[in-house]
């Protein structure tokens, strides 16, 4: 059974940093392509950052480019999202997601697995 478990959310002031983690387990096929999405109250879920299985390709939303970095530790089956220079508009529930094939798009419908989410709150 595939499971994605996020952690690392919290409350920080604007300008601060947080690092989110997502531990993946239960994958029986080749390493999936993974990414981070977020959803703020009253808004649709949006893609934040994606990473290909081998780590060679990334995709970032324009709103986080230069501030967020996605990475992985394959030995630990863990995906990370380093978030710097946080803004109030980054406040949302952040979700880890996985899909079998790398595509350079944030089409949430193509992701097969989702975590439960971790809350990030930025105060201005």
pLDDT 10s digits, 61-90: 999 999 999 999 999 999 999 999 999 999
94 forms bridges with which residues in the sheet? Answer: 38, 118
- SS3 of residue 110 by DSSP: helix
> Which residue's entry shows tokens 């989702």?
114
Query: In a 10 Å sphere around its CB, with 0-12 CB exposed, 13-18 middle and 19+ buried, how is residue 34 labelled?
Result: buried
pLDDT at 111: 95
Closest CA to 94 of 75, 65, 68: 68
- pLDDT > 90? residue 105: yes
Q: Are 31 and 74 in contact (CB under 8 A)?
A: yes
Closest CA to 56 of 22, 33, 80: 33
pLDDT at 32: 87
The pLDDT confidence band at residue 57, using thresholds 50, 70 and 90, is very high
pLDDT at 31: 78
The pLDDT confidence band at residue 120, using thresholds 50, 70 and 90, is very high
Span 11-47, pLDDT tens digits:
999 999 999 999 999 987 777 899 999 999 999 999 9
* CA–CA distance, 1 with 52 (Å, rounded to integer): 21
* CA–CA distance, 105 with 59 (Å, rounded to integer): 8
Q: Phi-psi region for residue 20, left (φ > 0), alpha (ψ -120 to 50) or beta?
A: beta
pLDDT mean over 96-121: 95
């Amino acid at each position: 059974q595939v499971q994605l478990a996020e952690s690392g959310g919290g409350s920080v002031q604007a300008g601060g940093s947080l690092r989110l983690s997502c531990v993946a387990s239960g994958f029986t096929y080749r390493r999936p392509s993974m990414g981070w999405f977020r959803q703020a109250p009253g808004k649709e879920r949006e893609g934040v950052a994606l990473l290909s299985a081998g780590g060679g390709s990334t995709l970032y939303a324009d709103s986080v480019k230069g501030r967020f970095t996605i990475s992985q530790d394959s030995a630990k089956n863990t995906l990370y999202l380093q978030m710097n220079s946080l803004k109030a508009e980054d406040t949302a529930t952040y979700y880890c997601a996985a899909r079998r094939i790398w595509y350079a798009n944030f089409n949430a419908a193509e992701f097969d697995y989702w975590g439960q989410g971790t809350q990030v709150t930025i105060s201005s």
